[in-house]
Amino acid sequence: MQQQTEVLPRRSVEPLFDGGMALFFLSVWLAPGAFGPADELIRAAMVIMMLEFILIHATGFLGFTAFAPGITREKKLKTMALFSGFYLIFLLGIGSALGAGWPILAFFWLLAGKLRIALRREVPDEFRRKQMVSDWTRSLYCYIGCAFVSVLGPVVPRLGISPELQPEFGEDTSGIWIDYPHGVVAMGVLYFTIMAIVKLRASGKTRPAGQKA
């Protein structure tokens, strides 16, 4: 008996996005002042990794809500709006601390990208649900694993991020990310590189019907 297979939809944009992010973090690590003020680019890289954590959290709640069985569309929208409001309050705090509004815009733009699979109506609902769960699980495990790199900040090579280039966050502010920002940047390089490779390998493959991605 011939085994049934299904073809995974091609996801050419997502690997390119993650690969581009990996190159951005690598450029900041090697030469943080090459494309602008070094302290601002280092700070931006740190904020992006904070946003990625919030995005993983948001993708889980909003994505699972979108595919929750037995719930009306109206209730789903209300629940998603409630969660979005919670994340917005958190982001307003980050934007206020930085004196900039780009983290809010970046968050919702990146969130739309992560939930893109949920919006692809040409793909069966069950596949979209499984793919979203698979993406979320991979992102979570990868983020947690790569976070250990940032904890090893004192032994991670500084490369182009010298102590003189570190952004200032105030005299009373300290922590492993603030004291060793190059560890966070190294984490970004590793995280986005792994995610790009994983998504590229998963793009356009075939698999046995019903098998998890």
Contacts 24+ apart (CB under 8 A), 101-107: 103/47, 103/51, 106/48, 106/51, 107/51, 107/54, 107/55, 107/58
Asked if the structure places residue 54 within a domain, the reply is: yes
Structure tokens at 24: 């951005």
Structure tokens at 131: 């793919």
Asked if the structure places residue 19 within a domain, the reply is: no
- Identify the weakest region by mean pLDDT among 51-55, 104-108, 135-139, 171-175: 171-175
3 state DSSP class of 67: coil
Asked if the structure places residue 117 within a domain, the reply is: yes
Residue-number span of the structural domain to which 145 is assigned: 38-204
**167 in Cβ contact with 43 (< 8 Å):** yes
Asked if the structure places residue 13 within a domain, the reply is: no
Say how many domains are in the chain. 1
> Which string of b and e fits 203-213 if b means at least 16 CB within 10 Å?
eeeeeeeeeee
* Cα 170 to Cα 80: distance, rounded to the nearest angstrom: 36
* Cα 48 to Cα 148: distance, rounded to the nearest angstrom: 17
Mean pLDDT calculated for residue range 71-91 = 75
pLDDT for the residue 7:
46
Q: What is the per-residue pLDDT across 148-165, written as a single tens digit (0 to 9) for each?
A: 888 888 888 999 888 887
* Cα 144 to Cα 187: distance, rounded to the nearest angstrom: 10
The region, left, alpha or beta by phi > 0 then psi within -120 to 50, assigned to residue 210 is left
Asked if the structure places residue 6 within a domain, the reply is: no
* Cα 81 to Cα 88: distance, rounded to the nearest angstrom: 10
Q: What would you report as the CA-atom Rg of the chain, rounded to the nearest whole angstrom?
A: 19
Global pTM exceeds 0.85: no
Confidence of residue 12 (pLDDT cuts 50, 70, 90): low
Mean pLDDT calculated for residue range 178-202 = 89
Asked if the structure places residue 8 within a domain, the reply is: no
The whole-angstrom distance between residue 106's C-alpha and the CA centroid of its chain comes to 11
Asked if the structure places residue 211 within a domain, the reply is: no
**56 in Cβ contact with 195 (< 8 Å):** no
